[in-house]
Each structure stands twice: as structure tokens, then as C-alpha cells.
Amino acid sequence: MSFDGVFTYAIVGELEEALAGGRITKIHQPSAYEIVLLVRARGHNHKVMLSAHPTYARVHLTNETYNNPSEPPMFCMRLRKQLEGSVIEAVRQVDFDRIIVMDTKGRDELGDVQTKRLIIEVMGRHSNIILVDASTDTIIDSLKHLPPSVNRYRTVLPGHPYVAPPTHGKLNPLEATEEMVLKKIDFHAGKLAHQLVSAFSGISPLFANEAVFRAGLANRTTLPKSFLALIDDVRHRRFAPMMYTNGEKEWFYVLPLKHLKIEGQPFASASELLDRFYFGKAERDRVKQQAHDIERLMANEKAKNEKKLLKLEQTLEEAKKADVYRLYGELLTAHLYAIKRGMTEIEVANYYDENGGTITIPLDPQKSPSENAQQYFQKYQKAKNSFAVVQEQIERTKEDIAYCDTILSQLETASPKDVEEIRDELIEQGYLRPRAAKGAKKRKPTAPELDRYVASDGTEILVGKNNKQNDYLTTKLAHKDDVWLHVKNIPGSHVVIRNKQPSDETLLEAANLAAYFSKARHSGSVPVDYTRIRYVKKPSGAKPGFVIYENEQTLYVTPDEELVRAMKQRQKEQAAKPS
């Protein structure tokens, strides 16, 4: 993995420089696996992300904004009681492993000095955040509890002594010498990178592969030197945080990875790199957990409506046969004398055929001649009456399928806050039952909170991330001369430029937002329509978020995540400026 002991060493250096001597002022837990510390140090406020996520575990300074639940979880409450107001005395790494310790000092309710250790173990699905009483080495609480039945090596429960994860007898690479490297490597066995990983603590395959690549033929002379040269860069903090991508896979690291043979994107710090790399990834996972029931419901609703549509279309085909049934009924009535009970069909003269042809009419052998004629007249009436009804049902079913598609598309780009608004909408539309919460106060209706972006020329651009936001933005908030954008014939966000005469560049940037927050976000050359708000109408009785528009023009753009991030960053910087 990229977040190895080397990366941990770089992060610890950044945290120590920024946080040492700082005071923990606030603690939040935005999700089941994440803790955010707000620290005031040297006249600046810092946010620290501590994640024990099974896939996205990490620790770093962050500039991202996280939505917090209305009720903080129990672990968050425990951390607040034990750590808020405490001073961070030191941030350190344990044995060059992926374990970070924050040593803190504070006072309890009686004013007595207490020392605590906040230990973050970044170890994939085994990651954890553990609060320990430093004076007794006893666990106060942990994000994940591990009883003896789950882990025989160590128990992670309140009241138990803290036991560090096993080291597997690996060596600290910061203490390595050429002789030590030679002793640990069998050059005849091959898989040299794997041998380095197995021998030294905190070394990932990325680092080991880089050492082998730089060693060239990787003989007894070159490999130890290339390995120790990289370790020397680490020891002296000669870091160059970079993100790499080949279009299919992404990597990040704090040292140049020449063996990837890809041009990397540089970052000012390891924390900034992690903010960028994990942009949206962890939040997407939170949303997936939070919206799992909605996603399943809407997928089932879509499938159900698609089956219904097939049946309705079959019924419509039957309804189109109304004139045939009428013809059969009339011809049978005229030829009753020629029909005998038990016949399965009869060929009669077709009086309506100008050429004087005949026609074969199927019969029910169980019915009398007049009953057969009457049956066709009944089919005729039923088909004639159902034609208009079925057409209307088909249109309504197509709208329901489009609505399900829209919700599923919105869930792909939704934030946790957006999911709650989508849930409220589905309750209002009758897809979900209201949640019965004892003693819960009814929320006062508030205006939806829109996503805001700032174009290169400073123009504000608003984006609706769900139907409630789209309706509010388009029908209530936007001025009639504002420019409105939406992807053509694809579910997506409503986007509004707060400028009557936007520049061509702003128009393209807004179109990029419309394409990015749509079902076509991973496509190229996405058609985006734009027009004035005055030409956008919501039909009476239409589903939430549905509008019709005219006088539109079309742009073609390819969604660019970097451009979206840049516009969001400008908005944050603009919002942070004193008014």
C-alpha cells in the first residue's frame, strides 16, 4: 500500500511541526470510521483527519469540510470528555511502522493533570483509533473493539492493557547498513522487492520496487546502495509528494517513483496529497452505506416499472387490434347461419374487402355462434376503451423509470447531507415510510443548501445535487435572466450562472459542472444545453426536479475533476475572506 512506514514518517513530521504545543479545541466524528480533531496551535487552526476506514485508513492535516451527524457517536463523546482542552505534547511514529501516537496532557474535572495517548493504527481493515491512559497503559476506549474471541494476540477493550500490534521481527530501515541489507537478501532466490518488504519494517512494495529499479541489475553492490540512498532521503526528509495515474489506476507516494515510468503530479505536502487523492472517495463510501436502502429501493422500483412497461406495450398492441375485433364480430353476425358449435374457425366473405376476398376468423368451440360474435364485440369495446388509458399509463411509467434513474444518478454524486434530502423527498413521494423516532422534534422546513462554485473570473455558479435543490434553484432562487444549464436528455444537476452575460470561459466551466454532476460524468464530449431561466418551466403535477425548456443552445464538454476542485477551492477561499 502507499501509506506505509515511509509515508507515515513524512506525515508525522508534518503533524509534529503543525500541532506540537497546540490545544485540542473540538472533536467530531463525521462517520463510523473517521475522527476530525480541531487544534489551535501557534495562532492557527488546524484540522486533523484520523481514519480507521478498512480501505481508506490514513492520518493527515486536512482542508476539507466534513458534515457531522446531529447526534455524536459514543466514541466521539468519550474523546471529547477525555481530550478536549488538552495540549498535544508530541506526535511520534512507533518503530517506523504505520502507528502514530499523539501524547497529550490535560486536566480532569477535579483539576488534576492527566496524560493520555491517542494511538492511530493505519493497517488496512485492521486499522483502529485507541485512547490510552498513559500513566497506566490502560485502554480507555477504542473506535473498534476486539474481544479475545476475535483476536487471541491482543484484546482491545476498555480497561484492558494496551498491547501493540506484532512486529514480526522486522528491522528498522533507519538503522540499516549495507551489511544488514546483504544479510537479509538472497540474490539467488529472486523476488528481491518482496524480500525487502519481508525484512524491513514500514517498507511497502512501492518503495521496494523503486529500490530494485534504481539498482539496475540489482547485484550485491547496487541494491544495498540504492536502498540506503532512498532511506537517506527519508531520514533527511527530502520528500517530493506525488500522485500518479495511468488512466486506470492511481498511486501516491512521498518519494519519486521512477519505476512507474509515469509523469507525476506534485503536491506541496503529504497532507495536501492525501486530501487530493481521497477527494470524494471516503465520502462516496459513507454515502453508499447511508443510502444503501434507497439505492436498492430505487433499483427495484426501476426494474418493476420496466416489467410493467413491457406488459403495457403488449396491451397497447392488443388495443390496436380493436378494429379487427369489430370486423370479426360484424362478419360473424352476418354469417351466424353458417357457424356450428364446436368449430375452431370459419372462412367467410369479407364484405369490406373491395376485391371480394375472404377472411378466416378463429372461433371458441365451447361457445355458440352468437356467443362467439358477442365475444369479439366485447374485445373491441375493451380494446377501444383501454387504448387511451394504456397510452397514459405508458407515459406515466416512463416518467417513473426516468425518476428512478434520476435518483440513482444523484446518489452517485451525493454528499451525506444530500442523501437526507433525497430521503425526505422519497418520503413525500410515497416511496419510503417516515422514520418513527421517539421524542424526535419535527424539523422546521429550511431552504435547501446548494453547492457553490466560483469560475475563473469570479462569477458564482450554483449546483443542485438533488431534486429538492434543483427545484429550489430553478423555480425560486434564480433570476429570470440567469443562465441555466443541464445535460441533454440525461439525468443530472441543474446548474445556474449568477451572471446575465457570462464569459465563454465561465459558460464552459459551468457546463463542466453540469456534466460532472450527471450520469455522464465518466463520458467524453457530453452535450450540455443552456438557456435563460425565463425559458425553463416546471409542468403542473410534474415529478420533483423535472422541467421543460426552450430556446436552448448546446455545448460539448468532457468532465474534468481537477477543474471542479479548482472552482470549489476558489469558493472556499472567497468564503474565508473577511466581509
Question: pLDDT class for 577, splitting at 50, 70, 90?
Answer: confident
pLDDT of residue 436: 61
8 A C-beta contact, residue 504 and residue 557? no
- CA dist 365 and 371 (Å) reads 10
- CA dist 375 and 377 (Å) reads 5
SS3 category, 561: helix
What contacts 440, CB < 8 A, 6 or more positions away? none
Q: What DSSP assignment string belongs to 274-342?
A: HHHHTTTHHHHHHHHHHTHHHHHHHHHHHHHHHHHHHHHHHHHHHHTTHHHHHHHHHHHHHTGGG--TT
pLDDT of residue 508: 96
Tell me the per-residue pLDDT of 463-482, one tens digit each, with 9 for 90 and over.
Answer: 999 999 999 999 999 999 99
Residue 441 has pLDDT above 70, yes or no: no
Beta bridge partners of 49: 36, 60
Sheet holding 265-266, edge to edge: 250-253, 242-245, 265-266
pLDDT of residue 579: 59
Average pLDDT over residues 445-471: 91
SS3 category, 517: coil
- CA dist 502 and 508 (Å) reads 10
pLDDT of residue 110: 82
Exposed / middle / buried, residue 575 (Cβ in 10 Å: 0-12, 13-18, 19+): exposed
CA of 13: how far to CAs of 7, 92, 197, 242, 273, in Å?
A: 10, 8, 23, 17, 15
Question: pLDDT class for 68, splitting at 50, 70, 90?
Answer: confident
CA of 187: how far to CAs of 170, 175, 207, 212, 337, in Å?
A: 19, 22, 18, 12, 103
- CA dist 3 and 27 (Å) reads 24
Cell of 121: 493504527
H or E element, residue 49: strand 44-51
- CA dist 461 and 488 (Å) reads 19
SS3 category, 158: coil
Tell me the per-residue pLDDT of 139-159, one tens digit each, with 9 for 90 and over.
Answer: 999 999 999 888 888 999 999
C-alpha gyration radius of the chain? 34
Least confident of 152-161, 221-230, 380-389: 380-389
pLDDT of residue 111: 83
What the chain holds in terms of domains, given with CATH numbers, is 3-159 (2.30.310.10), 171-280 (1.10.8.50), 292-411 (1.10.287), 449-574 (no CATH)
Q: Pairing between strand 242-245 and 250-253?
A: antiparallel
Q: Pairing between strand 44-51 and 250-253?
A: unpaired
Percent of the chain at pLDDT > 70 equals 98
Beta bridge partners of 37: 27, 48
pTM to 2 decimal places: 0.72
Residue 315 has pLDDT above 60, yes or no: yes
Tell me the per-residue pLDDT of 39-48, one tens digit each, with 9 for 90 and over.
Answer: 999 999 999 9
Of residues 234, 263, 271, the one with CA closest to residue 247:
263
Beta bridge partners of 117: 103, 132
Q: Which of 240-244, 312-316, 325-329 has the highest mean pLDDT?
A: 240-244
Average pLDDT over residues 539-565: 92
pLDDT of residue 240: 95
Mean of the per-residue pLDDT values for the chain? 91
Of residues 103, 101, 91, 84, the one with CA closest to residue 39:
84
What contacts 48, CB < 8 A, 6 or more positions away? 15, 19, 36, 37, 38, 39, 59, 60, 61, 62
Cell of 99: 502507528
**Cα 12 to chain centroid, rounded:** 28
Tell me the per-residue pLDDT of 105-134, one tens digit each, with 9 for 90 and over.
Answer: 998 888 889 999 999 999 999 999 999 999
pLDDT of residue 283: 73
**What is the number of residues in the chain?**
579
The CB-side HSE value for 89 (13 A sphere, CA atoms) comes to 11
pLDDT of residue 437: 55
**Cα 447 to chain centroid, rounded:** 24
Cell of 156: 482491545
Cell of 68: 457531522
pLDDT of residue 381: 84
